[in-house]
Structure 1
Amino acid sequence: MNTKDKAIETVTIPLMPLRGLTVFPNMIVNFDVGRKKSFEALMAAMSVNQMILLAAQRDAREDDPEKDDIYEIGTAAKIKQIVHLPGESARVLIEGVYRARITDIISDEPFFTAVAEPCFQEGRPISATRAQAYIRKVQDLVSEYSDIGPKLPQDVFTEIYNAKDIGALSDYIASNLILNFEDKQAVLEELNPSKRIQLVIRLLQNEIKILNIERDINKKVHEEIDKNQREYYIREQIKVLSQELDEGDNPRSEAEEYHQKIDALQLGKSGNKEKIEAEKEAAEKMHEQADRLFKMPIGSHEATVVRTWLDACLALPWNKQTKDKIDLDYARKVLDRDHYGLDKVKDRIIEYLAVKKLSPNVSGQIICLYGPPGVGKTSIARSIAKAIGRKYVRVSLGGVRDEADIRGHRKTYIGAMPGRIIEALTRAGVSNPLMLLDEIDKLDGDFRGDPAAALLEVLDSEQNYAFRDHFIEIPFDLSHVMFITTANTLDTIPEPLLDRMEVISLSSYTREEKFNIAKRHLLSKQLKKHGLNKRKLIIDDDVLYGLIDFYTREAGVRNLEREIGTLCRKAAKEIVSGKKQVRIREEDLEKLLGPKRYKPETILKRDEVGVVTGLAWTSVGGETMTIEVNVMDGSGKLELTGSLGDVMKESAKAAISYIRCRADELGISNDFYQSKDIHIHVPEGAIPKDGPSAGVTMATAVASALTGYPVRRDVAMTGEITLRGRVLPIGGLKEKTMAAYRAGVKTVIIPEDNKADLEEIDKTVREKLHFITADNMDTVLKSAIIFPKKKACNNNDKKEDLNLLTNIPSDNIATVIRQ
């Protein structure tokens, strides 16, 4: 019917843009709706008459199309069924009703609303004979298309062969063939049935042509594959013939070469029984794999795996070792030359060498160097290797979370490789290197395994003589390796792993140690690095002290080295500008490096009530820590400020309980905990503080505040307190006493149980400070608080009884108080 013969009726209808999909009239299609606008259009259509206009968008990649992005002609469809899916999405079954042309889009929110008019057939009707000819042509093309391309279902053939209307047949074929949606849209937009079926014929012919080309390409590919297989078969025949003729280049030559290399290793010839058996097992396994290699095709993947495995095994240093230099004087000289201080570590290495000289077969020496960053843990391991003449190899464990990094991957996996231990031995080239396992405390674990557990076998002398890497799969002797590990903290190392190591603690450097390290090592290193020498740049000793005191605050010397490097760069700039020599003095520091970053720690200017100097350990060394206590009239509240952790809060509560129990002896009102508010504060409140060594300091400050007697400003203390007043030992005494020395403290009160640790304190500090050891709080109070020196008037004046404590030996203090 022609458009002119029928009035055009426009409708206002919800519009749904389609991506890569074209719907034809009289066709039933189901698809998923996921876009919000499309879902809203679908719901609006269901609420009216279930009619919706479907039109394809020009660019299928556009997620939010505009009006101009939608084709003008689409299909008005009837919604048959909707299945709601999670979220604002649905699966819809629709049936195309008629073609429709969009005349206007009147709204795009919350969905597209279009004004559309039906599209009627154009052109004159064709004769029945011509229509039959078109139908037969199409049927032949569809049959040919199905023969060389995708097979069409039988019901599609039935529908095509029973078709009578060329327009409906064109729509049916276009909707069922694999065509671009642009071609399908062209068919939809063609309103003349005769031209439409001609377009479908052209599309079919083009698709058939493409399918014929694809078939030719596939045929050539298969012929090439057959050719390669034929060549492979011929090569295999040549291999067999060469083997029969026993020619020099026969395929057995590669396997024989591997056998010769394995025999050259001389495995299982010496050592103890366990080592001999392990090496024999390794040799048998390698010979077995070499025999398998001969039987495999040359280009096969499995042959490549076996070849890689054999190469990795043969690269291991089975019987290659360096000879230790057992010269204690030379070793001490090397260690002293490379590092200042660290006497405990050096003594341990000298002891190891002495035992090695007496018993060359000793094994199981696993040392863990534990200390803060920058104190020389990694560098001293390199010096140890140099001192004893061993190869040095480093394995970084920081961030390792996969067990395969330690044990390796199974060789059947793609990209498999040995673990870091075997790889490090291959790099070293000897079976007895000094292997540094750096940052062992930073191992992690996840679903791929626990690398710390994998290290248990590596660091156990009872097991590592036959260590099995997952890739190598044969035992390798690690008992000759000298393992040294480093860690910043022991808390994150699993207990079974820590039990296998001998922990040597490297404490923070003292001020004098930092100065000597800077003068002997860091300065010359930075001068060389910056192209300078001691004639071009002169740095006074006071400058180094100034850098240590005012520009760095750390346990090690890394920042100190950086600051020296900064001075070298400043000097280099002046030398390049024309100066022949640069000398840096202490007064030049602020001009070169800016204002001082750290102020020196000093004690209080006067004795104060309720203010006590404590000692604390931090990751960058020791520090003095002032604790202040105020007592006010109130209702017995206890206020704790200064970002205190749980341990310090508990120490404060224990101190209060102790003072309450000794209130009578101290001359304090028994009801102070009800009538007084106590505020304990640790200055620099923004810095978190915690640790089990502030108990005695808090108890002394509270006692001073409640009694009203001042505390000696030149006394510092450290120790934990129990409810009974017993003083418990602490750690980090060396760093804490160094902080006291820097601050100008004269007397340091330490726990009785830490008396033995005084031997480890720097000699200068030990000579300048007076140490008081205390096993209970009575000694601490007597030594720190300034009580008035008066004689007792009568037995009832308990406050003045306490004043006699200054004249009574500390061993008798508790007895006097009880009387």
Structure 2
Amino acid sequence: MADTKKEPFEDSAPKLLPVVPTIDVVVFPQMVVPLLVLDEKIINGIGRALEGDKRILLLAASGDMGGSHGPIGTEDLAKVGTIGKVMRAMSLPDGGQKVLVQGLLRCNVDEVTSEEDMLKGTISYLAFDRNENNDSVDNAIRGIISTIENTHGSSGLFGPDFHAILSQINDPERVVDFLLSHLSLDTAQAQKLLEKESLLELIAGIRESIEYELETSKVRESIRTNARDAINRSQREYYLREQLRAIQKELGEEAEDDLSAIKMKIEDGTMPEEAVKEARRQFSRLEKTSPDSLESAVIRNHLDWLTTLPWGVFTEDDLDLKHGKGILDEDHYGLNVIKERILDYLSVRALKNTCDVPILCFAGPPGVGKTSLGRSIARCLGRKFFRISLGGMHDESEIRGHRRTYVGALPGRIIQAIVKAGSSNPVLMIDEIDKVGNSGKGDPSSALLEVLDPEQNLAFYDNYLGVHFDLSKVMFITTANDLDQIPEPLRDRMEVIQLPGYLAEEKVEIAGQHLVPKAIESSGLAGKGVEFHPELIHAIVTRYTRESGVRELDRFIKKLCSKFARKFVEEKEKIQFKRENLIDFLGPSKVLFDKKLKNHKIGVTNGLAWTPYGGEVLQVEAVLMPGKGKLTLTGQLGEVMRESAQAAVSYIRSHAGGFGLDKSIFTDYDLHIHLPAGAVPKDGPSAGITLLSSILSVLTGREIDGNFAMTGELDLQGGVLPIGGLKEKILAAKQYGLENVIVPKDNERDLHGIDEMILKGIRLHFVDKVEEVIERVLLPKS
């Protein structure tokens, strides 16, 4: 093997050759490499070589350059390269060229020049040191071969025919070139080996690279073996994840697992036995699951919710009645009925440590303080507060939780609220309970039955958690605008407290105590001498708002404050505002109280109606015209109101003689009844006596006293039946300045729940029979 015969090309090698740069590869002697060439100069050089002896200069290109794929720079080419031979060249449709080259000899590059049509390199032959001991070279090569032959798995690294070919090569330099062509080397490492002038040093470098590759191969094989033992062979994705895990373990970079932390949370003694049992079962599954799998993430999320719930965490109720009353009075003006109910609860708790927690439902128009009152109750009791809005909810899973089989499953809103509140006895306000819908996904109102039933919420079951949770210590407060929209079984579980609208005087007080200070602070006007006199606030209330609550009033006050702020910034002086110049800042009055309500007219009666947004005054108009006895009803009336009109007509016809009417009037004339604001739907039975008054007025030609407003259902015997929403209707009459209100006698019992301020200035007329109504409102003919 020590034969070091002279290279046949040494003396005859040309001194000037076409240059072909290579990217990401160093071509060694005896190595065959395909190249893709796009640069025109390089293609020209290859063409020149094909016309001669086919020899070229192969130089590795360093840096971020095009090389054989594009434009090149001579400064980026290596100083040691390989003389090669073009074995085959094929032109491509895009103008490029695919070339197969073979390395022949190492060489030094003295100079690379870029001519107009090609790159040329001036070379000198690079020979190994001839003075090296041949025995040392032979021994070094035998050592490499022995290492390869004695290493298990080397055939997989070098190929099945590697050993057979190697045994047939006797020349040391060719053995070295053969080994180099089979190594996986990066460009920098390969270039260093190409530049070696000592054969012994080159052999040592090759041996180091081979030993590294063999060791790496053994590690990879070990990883494959360990991974195969732990996974299901049929799951490729699972297999790849296990390989990654095994690689991290071999490198000592395996991420620290937090299973111990989860285990500690489960065993800390706060969860009940049922929850601990479920958590342990899920933890056992987690230990057997790959941490990178989707199932692992689902289990971890479930355990996180289970262990984060405030099991057994309670806040202590503040039972100081004086302190509680002070907080309620500080936060809200009026609302005495609700305040008394909360103080009653505190009194019972003071006498008995455990008692049933009330489930309250605040019903009333928007803006009267239902939601803010819940926050004040929590503050009064010293409990955490959380609000849940159910408006538009139509999926039962929003309450009971989603089953974990669904992607993105979460606990229901109730459990989420408990976790966010951080205690097991917060005040949970369920807002807009009357606006819960239903669909094919279930009925959320039915799910709320379990939540709000004291007999069932001791063990509320959430589908996501898979365990029961005690909600009996939670104080639930619900809000609604329209109680009729709440299913009866759900309504039966709540203690309903009505919140009527505010009087103008109450709105002035609320604005002065709460709205104005907040608006001044938020507008940056604190300390700037801005004052809102009660007369100014009263003018805003009466001229710009017509609502039961105070939200619109709050918006106008904030708007006025923003005007104040701009005025102050521009003029830098104290601002004085009077009710007379409100129009300059808020525009024309938004509320036009109809002074014609009090006018005496034929066929026009002031009726009182209840809506979810408070009471309202509706005029009922009737006219008589020649015809054939037809009854026309307009104003978008509901079926109940239409039937009330028909009942009123029937009663009048049956008592025509008593009213002094000729029966021919019912066949020779048409009657048209209309309720203005035709775009607004209207319905309900309480307009019976109002419809009768308008009809009888137009039939008899007698005017109706405009100082009266009325409400009451009519029967065919002339009886006046009780109605609902009395408080709101009286409040509406008061707002419109109608001092006389006709009310069914049976509603007299409802007066005890109405504040004296609402009744002040109102004269109530309680009636049993239609005759009493007619006697009061129909004026004698002039």
TM-score normalised to structure 1 length: 0.63
- The alpha carbon displacement at 1:747 in A equals 1.9
Out of 346, 354, 377, the residue aligned to residue 353 of structure 1 is: 346
Out of 412, 415, 425, the residue aligned to residue 422 of structure 1 is: 415
State the secondary structure of the residue aligned to 1:449. Answer: coil
Query: Could you give the per-residue CA deviations for residues 375-413 of structure 1, whole angstroms, max 9, x where no partner exists?
Result: 111111000000110000112222222222222222343
Question: How far apart in 1 are the matches of 2:732 and 2:685?
Answer: 18
Query: Could you give the per-residue CA deviations for residues 130-180 of structure 1, whole angstroms, max 9, x where no partner exists?
Result: xxxxxxxxxxxxxxxxxxxxxxxxxxxxxxxxxxxxxxxxxxxxxxxxxxx
Question: How far apart in 1 are the matches of 2:221 and 2:716?
Answer: 91
Q: Give 2:383's aligned residue.
A: 390
1:375 aligns with 2:368: yes
Q: Give 1:216's aligned residue.
A: none
Out of 758, 761, 774, the residue aligned to residue 768 of structure 1 is: 761
- The alpha carbon displacement at 1:415 in A equals 2.5
Tell me which moved more, 427-436 or 599-608.
Answer: 599-608
State the secondary structure of the residue aligned to 2:437. Answer: coil
Amino acid at match of 1:722: D
1:316 aligns with 2:284: no
Out of 551, 575, 580, the residue aligned to residue 558 of structure 1 is: 551
Contact preservation (8 Å) 2:368, 2:550:
yes
Q: Give 1:665's aligned residue.
A: 658
Out of 228, 249, 269, the residue aligned to residue 265 of structure 1 is: 269
Amino acid at match of 1:455: L
After superposition, the Cα gap between the structure-2 partners of 1:651 and 1:225, relative to the gap in structure 1 and judged at 3 Å, is farther
1:631 aligns with 2:624: yes
Query: Could you give the per-residue CA deviations for residues 31-78 of structure 1, whole angstroms, max 9, x where no partner exists?
Result: xxxxxxxxxxxxxxxxxxxxxxxxxxxxxxxxxxxxxxxxxxxxxxxx
Q: Give 1:735's aligned residue.
A: 728
Contact preservation (8 Å) 2:632, 2:672:
yes
1:480 aligns with 2:484: no
Question: How far apart in 1 are the matches of 2:220 and 2:433?
Answer: 53
Amino acid at match of 1:262: I
Amino acid at match of 1:353: L
Contact preservation (8 Å) 1:603, 1:744:
no
Q: Give 1:599's aligned residue.
A: 592
Q: Give 1:747's aligned residue.
A: 740
- The alpha carbon displacement at 1:234 in A equals 9.3
Question: How far apart in 2 are the matches of 1:555 and 1:605?
Answer: 22
- The alpha carbon displacement at 1:688 in A equals 3.7
1:682 aligns with 2:675: yes
Amino acid at match of 1:406: I
Amino acid at match of 1:333: G
After superposition, the Cα gap between the structure-2 partners of 1:663 and 1:313, relative to the gap in structure 1 and judged at 3 Å, is same
Amino acid at match of 1:599: L
TM-score normalised to structure 2 length: 0.66
Question: How far apart in 1 are the matches of 2:218 and 2:541?
Answer: 79
State the secondary structure of the residue aligned to 1:700. Answer: helix
Mapping of residues 195-206 of structure 1, within 5 Å: none
State the secondary structure of the residue aligned to 1:414. Answer: coil
Mapping of residues 115-514 of structure 1, within 5 Å: 229-230=224-225, 232=227, 257-267=261-271, 279-514=272-507
Contact preservation (8 Å) 2:445, 2:487:
yes
- The alpha carbon displacement at 1:743 in A equals 3.1
Question: How far apart in 2 are the matches of 1:552 and 1:461?
Answer: 41
Name stretches of at least 5 consecutive residues in structure 1 with no aligned partner: 1-198, 210-221, 238-248, 268-278, 790-819
How many positions carry a matched residue from both structures? 558
Contact preservation (8 Å) 2:278, 2:467:
yes
After superposition, the Cα gap between the structure-2 partners of 1:639 and 1:264, relative to the gap in structure 1 and judged at 3 Å, is same
Contact preservation (8 Å) 2:365, 2:500:
yes
Question: How far apart in 1 are the matches of 2:612 and 2:588?
Answer: 24
After superposition, the Cα gap between the structure-2 partners of 1:669 and 1:410, relative to the gap in structure 1 and judged at 3 Å, is same
After superposition, the Cα gap between the structure-2 partners of 1:628 and 1:397, relative to the gap in structure 1 and judged at 3 Å, is closer
Larger Rg: 2
Q: Give 2:705's aligned residue.
A: 712
Contact preservation (8 Å) 2:481, 2:612:
no
Question: How far apart in 2 are the matches of 1:225 and 1:458?
Answer: 58
State the secondary structure of the residue aligned to 1:583. Answer: coil
Question: How far apart in 2 are the matches of 1:527 and 1:342?
Answer: 25
- The alpha carbon displacement at 1:363 in A equals 3.0
Query: Could you give the per-residue CA deviations for residues 714-750 of structure 1, whole angstroms, max 9, x where no partner exists?
Result: 2221111111111111222222222322333332110
Amino acid at match of 2:265: K
Question: How far apart in 2 are the matches of 1:231 and 1:413?
Answer: 34
After superposition, the Cα gap between the structure-2 partners of 1:753 and 1:514, relative to the gap in structure 1 and judged at 3 Å, is same
State the secondary structure of the residue aligned to 2:571. Answer: coil
- The alpha carbon displacement at 1:297 in A equals 4.2
Query: Could you give the per-residue CA deviations for residues 492-545 of structure 1, whole angstroms, max 9, x where no partner exists?
Result: 333332222222222222222222111111111111110113652122222212
After superposition, the Cα gap between the structure-2 partners of 1:224 and 1:506, relative to the gap in structure 1 and judged at 3 Å, is farther
Contact preservation (8 Å) 1:716, 1:747:
yes
Question: How far apart in 2 are the matches of 1:608 and 1:301?
Answer: 77
Question: How far apart in 2 are the matches of 1:615 and 1:561?
Answer: 27
Question: How far apart in 2 are the matches of 1:228 and 1:661?
Answer: 102
Question: How far apart in 2 are the matches of 1:410 and 1:304?
Answer: 15
After superposition, the Cα gap between the structure-2 partners of 1:302 and 1:585, relative to the gap in structure 1 and judged at 3 Å, is same
Question: How far apart in 1 are the matches of 2:332 and 2:423?
Answer: 27
Question: How far apart in 1 are the matches of 2:404 and 2:575?
Answer: 61
Question: How far apart in 2 are the matches of 1:514 and 1:670?
Answer: 52
Out of 535, 540, 546, the residue aligned to residue 542 of structure 1 is: 535
State the secondary structure of the residue aligned to 1:654. Answer: helix
Q: Give 1:522's aligned residue.
A: 515
1:584 aligns with 2:584: no
Amino acid at match of 1:753: D
Question: How far apart in 2 are the matches of 1:621 and 1:375?
Answer: 10
Q: Give 1:9's aligned residue.
A: none
Contact preservation (8 Å) 1:382, 1:392:
yes
After superposition, the Cα gap between the structure-2 partners of 1:399 and 1:788, relative to the gap in structure 1 and judged at 3 Å, is closer
- The alpha carbon displacement at 1:233 in A equals 6.6
- The alpha carbon displacement at 1:368 in A equals 1.5
State the secondary structure of the residue aligned to 1:491. Answer: helix
Amino acid at match of 1:264: D
Contact preservation (8 Å) 1:602, 1:744:
no
- The alpha carbon displacement at 1:471 in A equals 1.7
Contact preservation (8 Å) 2:374, 2:429:
yes
Contact preservation (8 Å) 2:598, 2:738:
no
Contact preservation (8 Å) 2:598, 2:705:
no
- The alpha carbon displacement at 1:696 in A equals 0.4
Contact preservation (8 Å) 1:603, 1:745:
no
Question: How far apart in 2 are the matches of 1:465 and 1:585?
Answer: 58
Amino acid at match of 1:678: L
- The alpha carbon displacement at 1:619 in A equals 4.2
Contact preservation (8 Å) 2:364, 2:614:
no
After superposition, the Cα gap between the structure-2 partners of 1:639 and 1:443, relative to the gap in structure 1 and judged at 3 Å, is closer
After superposition, the Cα gap between the structure-2 partners of 1:623 and 1:265, relative to the gap in structure 1 and judged at 3 Å, is same
Question: How far apart in 2 are the matches of 1:572 and 1:402?
Answer: 46
- The alpha carbon displacement at 1:624 in A equals 2.5
Question: How far apart in 2 are the matches of 1:471 and 1:427?
Answer: 17
After superposition, the Cα gap between the structure-2 partners of 1:319 and 1:620, relative to the gap in structure 1 and judged at 3 Å, is closer
Contact preservation (8 Å) 2:719, 2:768:
yes
Q: Give 2:70's aligned residue.
A: none
- The alpha carbon displacement at 1:473 in A equals 0.6
